[in-house]
Amino acid sequence: MPFSTSENDLSYMAGLLDGEGCIYIGLRQGYHALSASVVSLNRAVLDWAATKFGGSVRNRTNGAYKPVSVWSLGSSDTIKLLSAIRPWARIKAAQVWLALEYDAQRDNSYGTTVTNEEFALREGFRLALKEAKRTG
């Protein structure tokens, strides 16, 4: 899987995520998943991100709005990216920190039942990240 370690690429990606991106912990069917995405009218910049850092790009239409493209990255790749761009994150620095803390503190055991305590921890991080997005 591609992953650029060039400071130019990492700082550019940090700016792209700061300005046009979203870091989130989704909750679906009782499971939490960390992701990052960027939406843009310019597909070329998102194809660049996929080439440098992995993930996928898809097109999306929104009725009356112009069609956009969406780059998205899964959980383990999101952690790798956020760890690498952390020094350059500005607007979303608190969100990057929360996402990395979420990963550091959660039980990463696969195939095990999530305890009530673990679910509460993950949900607390999800809500804190949601609040950080709302307040800046």
Asked, for residue 86, whether it belongs to a domain, the answer is: yes
Residue 5 pLDDT greater than 80, yes or no: yes
Report how many domains make up the chain. Answer: 1
Global pTM reads 0.91
- What's the pLDDT score for residue 106? 86
Give the lowest-confidence range in 6-20, 30-44, 106-120. 106-120
- Are the CB atoms for 35 and 17 separated by under 8 Å? no
Mean pLDDT estimate for the chain: 92
Asked, for residue 1, whether it belongs to a domain, the answer is: no
Asked, for residue 2, whether it belongs to a domain, the answer is: no
Domain that holds residue 120: 7-135
Asked, for residue 60, whether it belongs to a domain, the answer is: yes
Residue 37 pLDDT greater than 70, yes or no: yes
Is residue 22 classed exposed, middle or buried when 0-12, 13-18 and 19+ CB atoms within 10 A define those classes?
Answer: middle
Provide the pLDDT confidence category of residue 33 given band limits of 50, 70 and 90: very high
Residue 112 pLDDT greater than 80, yes or no: no
- For position 129, which CATH number holds? 3.10.28.10
Asked, for residue 80, whether it belongs to a domain, the answer is: yes
